[in-house]
Structure formats: structure tokens, C-alpha cells
Amino acid sequence: MSVTFPKKPASATNAVVAEHPVNTLYIKSTFPEIFRGLGVSMKHFFDNTKEMLKGTRPDPVLERYDEGITCISYPEQKRPYPERFRGIHRLTQREDTSPRCVACLCCSTACPAQCIFIEPGEYPPGDARRGYERFPVKFVIDELRCIFCGYCVEACPCDAIRMDTGRHATPYDSRDQFVYGKDLLLNFPGRDGSHETANPRHEPGDPGHPGLDREHAH
Amino acid sequence: MNLTLLIWTIVKILIVIGFVFNVAALLTWVDRRQSSMIQDRIGPNRAVLKLGKFELRVAGLLHTAADGVKFFFKEDFMPPNADKLLFSLAPILAMTPVLALLAVIPFGDTLCIGDFGKIVPRFGVCDGTQGHGAWAMDLMVAPLNVGLLYVFALAGQGIVGAAIAGWSSDNKFSLMGALRAASQMVSYEVAMGLSLIGAMMIYGTIRLDDMVRWQGDYAWGIFVQPLAFLLFFTAAVAENKRIPFDLPEAESELVSGYFTEYSGMKFGMFYFAEYMEVCTSSMLLVTIFLGGWQLPFLHRDGLTIAFGETVLVHAPMAHWGVALLGVVAFFGKTLVMCSFQAFVRWSLPRFRYDQLMKLGWRVLLPAALANIFVTGLVWVGIDKVGVELSSGLKIAGDVTQAGVAIAITFGVVRLIIGMAGKREHRYSTAGTSAKFAEKLGGSKETPMQA
């Protein structure tokens, strides 16, 4: 007595069975397909040659989904980086061009590559910011060690470090040139050309400020 | 007289060799740029000649020059266990037959020296006996009466260079490539030779210039022997070891086949010989099947548009004009065929080795034999029917000439119309990258010369 297994239901996946090409007489006769292939080559050749000669080839960025040569001739022609591209870091500035950074060391703590070094400094006695916050005496990023993960930007409580310069790491010919100091990082503008950020910042003495800090606590 | 002949022969050699060398160099560029255009790329255009502020790029043509310079300055490496003599001999053996082959290819009609300003008769000789020309000069380096046999003999020598190169390299890949090259070329040599037998039967000669003359008087070989044209073209591509028949140098399997161990100018000679083979095989195709120096309705005495006995237009032309047009037509046709071979190269995938052998022995060879048989039958049939058919055949021949003329005109007009047309491009600002580019006014067109 033969045992019949119940037929399996159709798979729930959306896989499509590929159709095996049938070796018809048309395919076996070879030449029609060869000439069709040559025709495709020639169509591309003549269209593209015409556009190269006339200089009307599609814009490689704005018309990139189109037929034709959409190659980018790199150094002369560039595709802008997308908005959320993580480029070289910059240190944002306050209105008085001093760094927004308060040397809290959050970024260097968060950095998995340990490429950030900060030497914090206290404001002199009498300064309104003394005891309220610190400032970076040194702020150094080794761009060769950096893995461009963006954790420093996430960690920063003051929006002081950002990666929105839209520029990639520049190649140099020695390693120490990749070590970016505070002044250089402060000099990079953001993509909109500004050295500041759109986020507001409380300075000591602001009316919305609770007036608490390390020296005048409670 | 003999000194003049010698000088003229040297001039002819210089013309042919100069043409082939330049076209071979140009073909390396054509291969790169044409493939890039076919594959929607820009292609190499970076080689630059800087003269102060002026930069010369000429659409990437300088890459050819850069190649040459590189070939000369690279280390000429020889494997330690290689056969020194044969290793050095192989590139020469690969290159020489290609050059020697050029000797019998006619690149223009027979010149009537001393009669350039006059109109020469359509038929007849110009040796001074009939009042035309002081003496006649064939526009081929060696007017051999064994024509095609010489071509076959030298085309067969290409195997020797490849085989010796692979053997002497002391490398398994090279040896495999050489074996493949030898067996492939021997196989296709047969089909190539047999495919031309039909043409020889019809033309009634093995002199290449007489073949071209026959084609001018009746019809181009491609209409008389269409199957032979296809077979010969296939076999010629296989003889050149070009894609789709480039198994001897199949780089995915054999590194680069029989010239794996070659570098510097020795490799350059193999590389160059391949492109020269493309050029010479195009020349042979043009000579045997595409009317050589003939243009439709253009004869030695000028333009005569006639169907059978009815003459529509007869415009006599001076001898120098006809001769010049002929030479230009021959070289032009050769260039078109070279370009077509590049199209074939960049359109078709490589065969498997068994497919290659199957194609050679089980398709091309029987087809060539059938072609001979059918040609013979038709020939005998026409002979039996005799005179009644011949005027009809003459008209049919003239119709093919008209067809060629119309096809050329149509092609040129189509090209001009195509050049004038404009392709609309779809604009898309999807993504922030494109939005930034839009703000900048599109990505800048390169300031380079193509």
C-alpha cells in the first residue's frame, strides 16, 4: 500500500520561479540575436557620441536616472554630498567667535576611536562664565583615527561639535598633518556658510537662566 | 625606368605600411573610446600634453602615444628558463606575416602614368600602345599573379608566432594559450580558405586586383557570395584571435594566453600585430567582397549610371580624380570595416572552447563546402541557359550597384538627421545631493576636451 504524503501548500514567500529560456529555433539560428545585439551597441554608440560631441550629455547628478553618459569626471566635476553626510568635524562658535565647547569631555568619552583630546581650562576669577562652564585650552582631533561614526556629535550637550562641513578628509603627505587643532576646527564653516548653529544658547545672566553654577550653588 | 619603378614601389610600400601602422595605433584608441561610448562611459581622456598653460588632450588620442612610450621604457623581462632565441623571435614572427600580407592588396585602380589630366577608356591597357599613358602602374606593392594563394600562405604563418611564443615562455598558461591558438587558427584556416573558393570560381581569377575589377563591372562580392562573406568574416575574426574568438588569450582563464610572459616592446609587438591583423583582414574583406577601390557606377572613364544597355547619366572624369576617389574609397571602406569589427568585439561574448571547435568544424566548414557546391551548380546552370540570362544578370548587377549607392546615401542622411536630433533628458531632484546640485546650478560640465 503506497503512502501518499499531503501536498505542501504553496510557499508564503514572494519568490518567483525563474523561467528557463527555451532554446527556440530563433535562438538557435544565432544571427538574428547577434544583429540585434550589434544594433543595441550601435544605438548607444551613436547617441552617446552625438551627445559628447555636442556637449549635451545628461547632467550626471540631476539627470542621473536617464539614458546616456552619466559619468562624473571627478576632480573637475563633483556630486555634492547629501545633507546628512558626516564630513570633517567643525567646532561651532558663539556670537563672540569663542568656541561653544564647554570642555565637558562628553565627546572624547563617547569616541570609540579615542581620537579626540581636550585639555579643559577654567575662566579667570571674576569672569561671568567662571564656575558656570569651562573652555577647551586644546581641542585636538586626529582625523586619521576618526572613524566618522558621529558619536561625538550625538554626545555633545552644547551643539559645539558638528560634522556638517560637507567636506571629506583631505589627503596629506604626513601623519601629523591630519591632527586638527582647535583653531582649524573653529575655522571650518558649516554647509550654510555660517560658523554658528541655529540652536540658541544660554549665557550666564540670561533672564531664562536659573542662575545656578558650581560656585554659586544653592 | 627600373629606378623609377623602384622608387614608386618604395612609395607604395610607405603608403600601405604607413596606413596600416597609423590605423593600428588608431584602433587601440578606437577600441577604448568606442567601447566607452557603447557602454555609456566617457572613456580614457586623461593623457595630456602640457605646453605651458596650453593643455592638449585630443579626445584621449594621446593615450596611444603614452602606450608607445611605456612599451619602450618598460623592463624587457625574460623568464629565466625561457628559450632565449625563440622568445625573442616570436614577436617578430607574429608581426612579419601581417605586414607581408599587405604586398598583394590593391589599394587603387591601375594608374596610367602620364595620363592624369585626360580621360582614360573604361577598358583597355595604358602601356602607350593605344595612345594612352606611358606605362601602367598597379597600385599594389607586388602585382603577384598568385594573389589569394599568397594571402593564404601568409595568413597561416600567424600560427607560428603564437605557438613559438607560448612554447618558449616556460609557462603553463602560455603553453595552453599557444595550443589553443594553434588549433583554433588551423581550424578556421580551413573554413577561411574554402569560403573563398566560391568567390574565386565566380571571379575566375586569384589576382586580387582582377577580383576588384570584376566587382566593378558586375556586382560587389557581398551580393554574389553573401554566405561566403559571412563565413570569411567569421573566420577572419577567429584568425585575428579577437573577441568572440579570443580563447588563446582568454584573460579570465589563461592570464593573457601565449603572451603572458611578454612585457615591454615585445608585448607591444603582439598587441600591435593584433590590431594590424584587424586592419589587414578588413582590407581583405573590402577587396574580395566590398568592391575594393570601386564606388557604385564609378568607372575608369568617369561616372556612368546605366542599367544594362540603357545609360541614364554619363559624366566623364579626369583620370586623377577617379584614381584619387578610388584610393579614398578603399581606405574609407577599410576604416568602416575596422570600426565594425570593434562593434562585434564589444557586443558578443566569448565562446567556450568546445563551442568554438564545433562552430569551426561542424558549421563553418560544411557551410563553406555547401557554398562551393551551390555556386558551382548555379554557375553551370547559367552557362547552360547562356546568352538570354546574361543581359538580365547585368541589369541585376547594376541594380545591386544602385542599391549600394542608395544605402550609402541613406546612411549618410540618417547620420546627419541623427546628429541634428536632440534627446530629452528626465530631470530628477530626488535626494538632498541632487537638491544641493540644483542650488549650484547643476554639476559643471568638464572643461576637458571630451
Closest Cβ opposite residue B343 in set A41, A60, A72: A41
Instruction: Give the nearest partner residue to B443 out of A52, A59, A65, using CB atoms.
Output: A59
E strand map for A74-218: 90-91, 116-121, 135-142, 161-162, 179-180
Which H helix or E strand runs over B209? Answer: helix B208-217
Asked whether the beta carbons of residue A52 and residue B422 sit closer than 8 angstroms, the reply is: no
Nearest-angstrom CA–CA distance, B49 and B124: 53
Say whether both A36 and A105 belong to one domain: no
Mutate to test the interface with B, among A31, A59, A192 (most CBs of B within 10 A): A59
Residue closest to B403 by CA, chosen among B226, B280, B208: B226
Quick check: B436 contacting A, CB < 8 Å?
A: yes
Task: Collect all residues of chain A within an 8 Å Cβ-Cβ radius of residue B348.
Answer: 34, 37
Which residues of A fall within a CB distance of 8 Å from B350?
A: none
Q: What is the mean pLDDT of residues A183-203?
A: 85
Residue A47 is part of which domain span?
A: 23-79
Which residue is it, cell 529560456? A21
Span A44-63, average pLDDT = 85
CA distance A212 to chain B (A): 42
Half-sphere exposure at residue B184, Cβ-oriented, CA atoms within 13 angstroms: 31
CA distance A191 to chain B (A): 10
Backbone region of residue B425 per phi and psi (left: phi > 0; alpha: psi in -120 to 50; beta: other values):
beta
All residues of chain B having their beta carbon less than 8 Å from the beta carbon of residue A46 are: 415, 418
Nearest residue on chain A to B43, judged by CA atoms?
A: A71
CB contact under 8 A, B42 and A71: yes
Cα(A132)–Cα(A134) distance, rounded to whole angstroms? 7
Tell me: do A34 and A66 sit in the same domain: yes
The pTM of this model reads 0.81
CATH number, domain containing residue A122: 3.30.70.3270
Of A52, A79, A106, which marks where a domain is finished? Answer: A79
User: Would you call A62 and B428 a contact, using CB atoms and an 8 Å cutoff?
Assistant: yes
How far is residue B300's CA from residue B126's CA, in Å, rounded to a whole number? Answer: 12
The 10s digit of each residue's pLDDT in A17-39 is 777 778 888 887 778 888 999 99
Q: With CB atoms and an 8 Å threshold, state whether A63 touches B425.
A: yes
CB-CB neighbors (< 8 A) of A41 in chain B: 38, 343, 346-347
So what's the pLDDT on residue A216? 63
- Candidates B446, B448, B449: best to mutate against A (most CBs of A within 10 A) is B446
SS (H, E, C) B210-223: HHHHHHHHCCCHHH
In a domain, A213, yes or no: no
Per-residue pLDDT at A115: 92
Position B209 scores a pLDDT of 85
CA–CA separation, B46 vs B43, rounded Å?
9
Grid coordinates 588632450 are at which residue?
A: B57
pLDDT in tens, A101-126: 989 899 999 999 999 999 999 888 88
- Average pLDDT by consecutive 10-residue portion of chain B (450 residues)? 82 89 89 90 84 80 87 87 88 88 85 76 70 73 84 85 88 88 87 88 86 86 88 88 81 80 87 89 90 84 78 80 88 91 89 86 90 90 78 83 90 89 81 82 63
Structural domain contains residue A140 = yes
The answer to whether B188 and B365 are in contact (CB under 8 A) is: no
**Interface of chain A against chain B, CB under 8 Å?**
34, 37-38, 40-42, 44-56, 58-73, 76-84
Helix, strand, coil % over all residues of chain A, rounded to 5: 20, 10, 70
**What phi, psi does A186 have (nearest 5°)?**
-70, -25
Residue A209 covered by a domain: no
What is the number of residues in chain A? 218
- Virtual CA dihedral for B360, B365, B370, B375, nearest 10 degrees? 100
Pairing status of strand B111-113 against strand B49-51: unpaired
3-class SS at A99? strand
Cβ distance B247 to B350 under 8 Å? yes
**Tens digit of pLDDT for each residue in A199-218?**
877 777 777 666 666 666 55
Nearest CA in chain A to B40: A69
Q: How many domains does chain A have?
A: 2
Are B375 and B198 in contact, with CB atoms under 8 Å apart?
A: yes
Residues A180 and A102 in one domain: yes
Interface contact flag, B418 A38, Cβ < 8 Å: no
Using CB atoms, pick whichever of B343, B419, B440 lies closest to residue A42.
Answer: B343
Residues 6+ positions from B106 with CB-CB distance below 8 Å: B138, B139, B140, B208, B209, B212, B287, B292, B293, B330
Q: Could you give the CA distance from residue B31 to residue B242 in angstroms, rounded to a whole number?
A: 12
Which residues on adjacent β-strands are paired with residue A161? A91
- Please answer yes or no on whether B437 and A52 come within 8 Å at the CB atom: no
Domains of chain B by residue range: 73-417
SS3 (DSSP) at A112? coil
Coil vs helix vs strand at A1: coil
Contact between chains at A62 and B443 (C-beta distance less than 8 A): yes
Distance, in Å, from the CA atom of A83 to the CA atom of A81, rounded to the nearest integer, reads 7
Angle, helices B264-289/B2-38, rounded to nearest 10 degrees: 100
Contact (CB, 8 A) for B32 and B60: yes
User: Which of A28, A52, A62, A86 to mutate to probe the B interface, most B CBs <10 Å?
Assistant: A62
In the three-class reduction of DSSP (H, G, I as helix; E, B as strand; rest coil), residue B315 is classed as: strand
- What nine digits make up the cell of B38? 557603447
Within 8 A of B347 by CB-CB distance, chain A residues are 34, 37-38, 40-41
Place of cell 595620363: B115
In B, minimum Cα distance to A48 occurs at B37
Judge: B37–A42 Cβ closer than 8 Å, yes or no. no
Of B343, B428, B440, the CB nearest to A63: B428
Contact of B327 with B111, CB cutoff 8 Å: no
- Torsion sign, CA atoms A52, A56, A60, A66: negative
Residues of A in contact with B425 (CB under 8 A): 58-59, 63, 66, 68
Q: Report CB contact under 8 Å: B423, A44.
A: no
Maximal C-alpha separation, chain B: 84
**Per-residue pLDDT, B370:** 93
Residue among B37, B42, B425 whose CB faces A45 most closely: B37
Per-residue pLDDT at B432:
84
Helix (H) or strand (E) holding B342: helix B319-347
| Phi, psi of A70, deg, nearest 5 | -115, 35
3-state helix, strand, coil in chain B (%, to 5): 65, 5, 30
- Give whole-number Cα distances, B106 to B21, B22, B100, B243, B321, in Å: 17, 18, 13, 28, 18
CB atoms within 10 A of CB A127: 12
Residue of A37, A47, A68 lying closest to B347 (CB–CB):
A37
The residues, any chain, with a CB within 8 Å of residue B282's CB and separated by 6 or more, are B334, B335, B337, B338, B341
- The pLDDT of residue B67 is 87
B173's CB contacts (< 8 A; 6+ apart) are B254, B255, B257, B260
A75 and A28 within one domain:
yes
Same domain (yes/no): A33, A65 = yes
Looking at the structure, tell me whether residues A114 and A38 fall in a common domain.
no
Return the pLDDT at B406: 92
- B441: nearest CA in chain A? A62
Contacts of A45 in chain B (CB under 8 A): 34, 37-38, 343
User: Quick check: A70 and B40 CB within 8 A?
Assistant: yes
Is-contact B205 B214, C-beta < 8 A?
yes
Angle (nearest 5°) at CA B329 between B328 and B331: 65
DSSP state of B363: I
What does the pLDDT look like over A166-181, one tens digit per residue?
888 888 889 888 999 9
Both A73 and A101 in a single domain? no
* B132 and B120 Cβ atoms separated by less than 8 Å: yes
* H/E run at residue B179: helix B172-203
In this structure, how many other beta carbons lie within 10 angstroms of the beta carbon of residue B132?
19
Asked whether the beta carbons of B434 and B428 are under 8 A apart, the reply is yes
Q: Residue A199 corresponds to which cell in the numbers above?
A: 540652536
* Cell 578610388, residue located: B326
Residues in Cβ contact with B120 at an 8 Å cutoff, skipping those fewer than 6 apart: B112, B126, B132, B133, B300, B301, B319
Integer-rounded Cα Rg, in Å, for chain A is 30
Phi, psi (degrees; rounded to nearest 5) at B102:
-65, -15
B429 vs A contacts (CB less than 8 Å): 62
> What residue of B is the nearest CA neighbor of A64?
B428
Question: CA angle, corner A91, sides to A87 and A94, nearest 5?
Answer: 140
Q: Is residue A151 predicted with pLDDT exceeding 90?
A: yes
Q: Kindly list the distances between the CA atom of residue B219 and the CA atoms of B195, B244, B290, B297, in Å, as whole numbers in the listed order.
A: 18, 31, 9, 10
The ipTM assigned to this model is 0.84
User: Measured on CA atoms in the order A203, A209, A211, A213, is the torsion positive or negative?
Assistant: negative
| A130 and A44 fall within a common domain | no
